[in-house]
Amino acid sequence: MESEKSVIDNAEPAPKAHLILGLDYGVKKMGMALGNTITETARAFDILAMNNGQPDWDNLLGIIQTWGVTTVVVGLPLNMDGSSSMLSKRAHKFARRLAHRMMEQGVPASVLLSDERLTSVGARELAWEQGWIKNERDPIDDISACILLSAYFADPSCALPIDAIKAE
């Protein structure tokens, strides 16, 4: 009996799962996906309406708090050559505002930025193949957020803190 107890005492505790929220930022709508650090999988969560790039902040912060999100990965829509676009500047500003609002509300989550080039193209192809959309105008923003999180799980170093990326 004692030998069993020592094996149990020496066992490493199971890692704690953390929820990661992926955001595919847009001026009219923002795709959301939730990911789990244990399984390293993501699932489409929702598409939020945006008012000229601004979300319903109370709703977004409520989602982050309710789900116990520990990290938010915001997609940074860079040009194909890696340069900033007007939308990437707005996404960077959004990420800074989100981090500030979370800090004000005492939400203990970090905000990271990650290159999201071609996630929408990949999301549309996947959605067509899987039959999730029937029309080329059907929204795929939440699927884009899933692809963003999948890339993050494959290589977490691809996402950087807000201050590490200069908003040109």
Cβ atoms of residues 42 and 146 within 8 Å: yes
Q: Tell me if 3 is assigned to some domain.
A: no
| DSSP of 42-62 | EEEEEEEE-BTTB--HHHHHH
For residue 136, the enclosing domain spans: 17-163
Q: Tell me if 25 is assigned to some domain.
A: yes
Nearest Cα residue to 62 out of 94, 123, 25, 21: 21
Q: Which two tokens stand for residue 142?
A: 């939440």
- What is the three-class DSSP state of 66? helix
Residue for token digits 């807000």? 162
Nearest Cα residue to 53 out of 23, 84, 87, 22: 87
Cβ atoms of residues 15 and 38 within 8 Å: yes
Q: What's the pLDDT at 9?
A: 53
Query: DSSP letter at 8?
Result: H
Q: Tell me if 168 is assigned to some domain.
A: no
Strand pairing of 159-161 and 110-115?
antiparallel
Strand pairing of 29-36 and 110-115?
unpaired
Number of structural domains (the chain) is 1
Q: Tell me if 58 is assigned to some domain.
A: yes
Q: What is the CATH number of the domain that holds 67?
A: 3.30.420.140
Q: Which two tokens stand for residue 84?
A: 């900033």
Q: What's the pLDDT at 102?
A: 93
Q: What's the pLDDT at 73?
A: 96
Q: What is the dihedral of CA 57, 59, 60, 66, to 10 degrees?
A: 140
- What is the three-class DSSP state of 22? strand
- What is the three-class DSSP state of 83? coil
Q: Tell me if 8 is assigned to some domain.
A: no
Per-residue pLDDT of the chain (168 residues; tens, 9 = 90+): 444 444 445 556 555 668 999 999 999 999 999 999 888 999 999 999 999 999 999 999 999 999 999 999 999 988 888 888 888 899 999 999 999 999 998 888 899 999 887 777 777 787 777 778 788 788 888 989 999 999 999 988 888 887 766 665
Q: What's the pLDDT at 164?
A: 67
Q: What's the pLDDT at 11?
A: 56
Q: Tell me if 54 is assigned to some domain.
A: yes
